[in-house]
Each structure stands twice: as C-alpha cells, then as structure tokens.
Amino acid sequence: MSANALAPTPLPPLIEDERSVTPAVLAAMANTDNARLQEITTALVRHLHAFILEVRPTEDEYEFGLRWIAALGHHTNETNNEVVLAADVLGLSTLVDLLNNDGGRGETMSALLGPFYRGNAPDCAHGESIARSTTPGPGLWFEGRVLDVDGAPIEGATLDVWQASPVGLYDNQDAAQDDYNLRGKFATDAAGRFAFRSVKPAGYPVPTGGPVGKLLHAQMRRPYRPAHVHFIVSAPGHKTLITQIFSDTDAALATDVVFGAKKAIVGDFREHQEADPDRYPDLEPPFFTCSYDFRLVKGAPTFPVPPIA
Ligand code: BEZ
Ligand code: FE
C-alpha cells in the first residue's frame, strides 16, 4: 500500500452561508471519472446556482417550479413527450440544433425532427402522391434536387417526407386520415431529382394540455408552428440532413413557438390558377408548387429513432 493511500482525504469546509454552497457541491463532484460528464455537470451546477442566486425564489416558488418539472414527466407517454416539448418552447432544441448543424460548409440548414416522425414510411415512385386518403385542401407539387456542397447531383439519395394535413393534423392525430397519410420515401434519379404530389400543409398548435401549455398561456404565447413539410435526406457517404421547408406568412414564421423556422429553409410556394397536366399531373387549380434543392455535406449517415410508432 502506498503512503498516499493512507493519507486521509481532507474534508471540505462546512457550509457557512449562501456563497459556500456552490464550491461545496463542485468539490463533491470533483472525482467524476468521465471528463466530459465532469465538465457538463460542473457547468450545470455553476449555472443553476447562479440562476437561484439571481432569482432568489421563495420556498413556494421553488416548490412550484419542481412540481412543474415533475409534471413534464407525468405528461410524457407513448404519444407525447412533454420534456422534449418544454426544451423546444424554451428554444433549447433549436440552440443545440444550430450548434451542431450551422450550415457553415454549404449544406442545407437543419430543423427539429419533431415528435411526429414515424419510421417505415412507404416507398414511393417519382411524382407519386403521399395523400393516401381523401385529404381535402389545395394540391401541392414539391420537386427539387439533392446535391453535394459543390453542386454535384447525388443519385440514389433517400428523402423521407412527412407533413400535417391542410387542417394541421398528422395522420396519427386524426382518425379521418389513413395510416401513413402524408408520409412517403422517395429516391433521387441520376440528376439528383425527386418530385412528389401532396396537399398544402397548414400550421398547427403544439400539444397544450400539459405543463408546457400552462407556461405558454401564462406567457401569452400562441402555441402555433408555421406550416411546413419535414424531410430526412440521406445518402451513402453524406451526413444525414433533418430539416423542414416552411410555407407561411412572415408573422407565423417569426412566431414559431419552437423557434424552428429559419430564413434559409423557407420555401417558395407558388399558387397556380391554371391546370398544367404535362408538368404537374393530376393537380386541379388552385394548387401550389415548390422547388427546393437540398445540399448534403460529406460524412457518415445516421438515422433518428422515431419518437412515436
Ligand atoms: C414538428 O415540427 O412536428 C414539431 C416540432 C417541435 C415541437 C412540436 C412539433
Ligand atoms: Fe411538424
């Protein structure tokens, strides 16, 4: 046994006042044997303590806050993740997304996966419709290319597409829609092109029945997301892009309750008053078209775990 092993570990000083709590907690965590965990938990404690020292909550306020956090767990189940929703409406999810995907290498900017992604969407042919049940509303033709950051087309890229209906509901929220309505997977051709037919999405409110809804109400915030189409664009040898292409008014974009709408991913949705069956088959006027090219950066493809079945 070495001399060191026999040396008694010095005891930390006892708490004397509000300023001595933070160093005591940091000292207690000092032996964390994972350096990154140590870095994260140390910063967390420093910032949480600074927050408490700034806000100086009463005991009632503190308990109210803890009950609000516990309610996030109680409202989390197979169809709703209130913890993620809280992170979303506080801007945390978009901040983490931007830190990890800033578009700095010329790739298309990403956006949140959201809680409504489902795996196993049906494979579709070029130009096929993802409106599987009768889904009333103006038609949409969405086309574009998948390119690398130098502008070269990527053949065989996969686009996993999903969206809300013209009344703002995803298939799994709406008994009137068939299973996998407004969801589909498309592959790009040799020129990197893809196209699909759909209906124009509408904006929708995030779930407001839990503690997040109460917070939004107290903050007098509208719970709405602007209309958008979700995409997961993947290709061998390229980093998977998770994004949304937006179609809405400036006011709706600027007040996205989860801060997900970014300038670079607003689509140019054009209204057509005349049919054009050669170019846009099976679309009755008035309908909309949007053309958007996605750019992928080199990297390893990864795939998200669907938050719902
Ligand atoms: C969505 O786009 O589907 C979404 C994202 C974050 C929170 C709620 C919905
Ligand atoms: Fe969405």
Rounded to the nearest whole angstrom, what is the distance from the C-alpha of residue 55 to the centroid of ligand 1?
30
d(CA 67, CA 165): 35
pLDDT at 168: 92
Torsion of CA 174, 112, 143, 202, to 10 degrees: 40
> Which of 84, 96, 116 to mutate to test ligand 1, by most ligand atoms within 8 A of the CB atom?
116
Q: CB under 8 Å, gap of 24 or more: what pairs does 180-183 form?
A: 180/118, 180/121, 180/122, 180/132, 181/130, 181/131, 181/132, 181/133, 181/135, 182/130, 182/131, 182/132, 182/135, 183/118, 183/121, 183/122, 183/130
Taking alpha carbons only, the member of 184, 265, 177, 272 closest to residue 228 is 265
> Which of 82, 225, 256, 265 to mutate to test ligand 1, by most ligand atoms within 8 A of the CB atom?
225
Rounded to the nearest whole angstrom, what is the distance from the C-alpha of residue 256 to the centroid of ligand 1?
10
Residue 183 CA: distances (Å) to CA of 120, 161, 230, 274? 9, 6, 9, 27
pTM of the model: 0.90
Ligand 1, atom 7: closest residue by C-alpha: 114
Ligand 1, atom 3: closest residue by C-alpha: 114
Ligand 1, atom 1: closest residue by C-alpha: 114
Q: Which atom of ligand 1 is least distant from the CA of 117?
A: 3
Task: Identify the structural domains of the chain with CATH numbers, from first to last.
Answer: 11-74 (no CATH), 91-296 (2.60.130.10)
pLDDT at 248: 83
Minimum-distance ligand to the CA of 260? 1
d(CA 264, CA 56): 41
d(CA 152, CA 233): 15
d(CA 255, CA 146): 29
Chain-centroid distance of CA 237 in Å reads 23
- 247 is written with which tokens? 């179609």
Rounded to the nearest whole angstrom, what is the distance from the C-alpha of residue 258 to the centroid of ligand 1?
7
DSSP helix/strand/coil, 270: strand
Rounded to the nearest whole angstrom, what is the distance from the C-alpha of residue 191 to the centroid of ligand 1?
32
Rounded to the nearest whole angstrom, what is the distance from the C-alpha of residue 10 to the centroid of ligand 2?
54
Taking alpha carbons only, the member of 98, 115, 99 closest to residue 260 is 98
Question: How many other CB atoms are there within 10 angstroms of residue 115's CB atom?
Answer: 18
Q: Going by C-beta distance under 8 Å and a sequence separation of 6 or more, which residues neighbour residue 24?
A: 12, 13, 15
Rounded to the nearest whole angstrom, what is the distance from the C-alpha of residue 206 to the centroid of ligand 1?
7
Q: Which atom of ligand 1 is least distant from the CA of 116?
A: 3
pLDDT at 1: 47
Minimum-distance ligand to the CA of 165? 2
Taking alpha carbons only, the member of 215, 256, 251 closest to residue 112 is 256
pLDDT along the chain (309 residues), means of 10: 64 90 95 97 98 98 98 90 94 95 93 92 97 91 98 98 94 91 98 97 95 98 97 98 93 95 95 95 95 97 85
Minimum-distance ligand to the CA of 114? 1
DSSP helix/strand/coil, 176: coil
Phi, psi of 216 (to 5 degrees): -60, -40
pLDDT at 2: 54
Taking alpha carbons only, the member of 303, 185, 173, 298 closest to residue 242 is 303
Spell 239-260 as b/e; 16+ CB within 10 A means b: bbbbbbbbbbeeebbebbbbbb
Torsion-angle region of residue 218: left (phi > 0), alpha (psi -120 to 50) or beta? alpha
pLDDT at 236: 97
Task: Report residues whose beta carbon is within 6 angstroms of any ligand 1 atom.
Answer: 85, 88, 112, 114-116, 206, 225, 258
DSSP helix/strand/coil, 16: coil
